[in-house]
Amino acid sequence: MATKTAGEIEQEILSPMLERTVSFLTEDMQISVTSNNIEIVSPNQVELKKNTAMIGTGGSIQVIITMSYDDKLLEKLVEVFLEGEEAPEDEIDEIRESVSSEIVNTIVGNALTNPLDGTTLSITPPILIYEAKSLFKHKSSKIATAIVNTEFGDMLLTVIGPKESFADTLNFKEL
């Protein structure tokens, strides 16, 4: 097996996540992805949506991954997870949080292997972000984002990690 350099890691983290996100939404959740043109950008700041779950990877590749959902998209995902069952009103917030966490856990867990040596990456338990509104790039870090457009709203994927973990040859658009 060829050894991969840290400069190739970003392509091998965000791209498989995007691929698994699209297949998860379309195949598992029967939600149409309305844009075939998903662009990866590297902004200095990311505005998070109200519904955001975060997970980290451990081991030799350490990044933070967030998934943010538009309200209408998360409502549809909850509906699919509940399989038409009515949720008690006093439990709906907890169910939305569980669904957000389960989705990020499923997608990241199914999409990622360690691109340096092909081993499975360890992941942290997902956590929900309530207070953060924005993520800012530190001088020694890099942020890569992609937006997946669906019939029910958008999902924002973000990967944050040390600058040396990201390829400079991906032709990012700096925002």
pLDDT tens digits, one per residue of 125-162 = 998 887 667 776 667 677 888 899 999 999 999 888 77
Q: CA 67 to CA 157: how far, in whole Å?
A: 5
Residue 172 within a domain: no
Residue 149 within a domain: yes
Residue 152 within a domain: yes
Domain span at residue 88? 6-165
Q: Who's near 148: CB < 8 A, 6+ residues apart?
A: 18, 21, 22, 25, 33, 35, 38, 154, 155, 156, 157
3-state secondary structure of 11: helix
Residue 170 within a domain: no
Looking at the whole model, is its pTM more than 0.75? yes
For the chain, the distance separating the N- and C-terminal CA atoms, rounded to the nearest angstrom, is: 36
Is the pLDDT score of 170 beyond 50?
no
Instruction: Report the percent of the chain where pLDDT is more than 70.
Output: 74
Residue 111 within a domain: yes
Residue 174 within a domain: no
Number of domains in the chain: 1
Measure CA 32 to chain center: 18
Q: The domain spanning residue 29 has which CATH number?
A: 3.40.1550.10
Residue 173 within a domain: no
Residue 41 within a domain: yes
